[in-house]
Amino acid sequence: MSASNNLTYTDFATPGYASNVAAAARQLVAALFAVKPRPAVVADDVVSPRQKASSAAWLNSMANDCERHSPSLSAELRFLASRG
């Protein structure tokens, strides 16, 4: 993950547990706030009525195929096909 930022690693002269933990916490906070969130993507994929009808027909044919061994699955597939 590459983010262009001005963060640098700082090495402290006093090597101790507390200073190491503090440095790690500072670097973690800096890394968390340095990355900008991605912009929300607008869904502009439009499904044509022909594709919807084709998908509904495909789901109905699958529902007919599994009617005997799994009636609840068949009902779910028909419901999904009816939603469009």
CA distance 73 to 17: 59
- What is the predicted pLDDT for the residue at 23? 85
Q: List the domain boundaries for the chain.
A: 1-39, 49-83
Residue 18 pLDDT more than 90? no
pLDDT grade for 11, boundaries at 50, 70 and 90: low
State which amino acid sits at residue 27: Q
- What is the predicted pLDDT for the residue at 72? 94
- What CA–CA distances, in Å, run from 35 to 3, 10, 19, 42? 6, 19, 25, 21
Determine contact, residues 54/79, Cβ cutoff 8 Å: no
Between 58 and 6, whose confidence is greater? Answer: 58
Q: What is the DSSP string of 28-48?
A: HHHHHHHSPPPPPPP---PPP
Residue 12 pLDDT more than 60? no
State which amino acid sits at residue 40: A
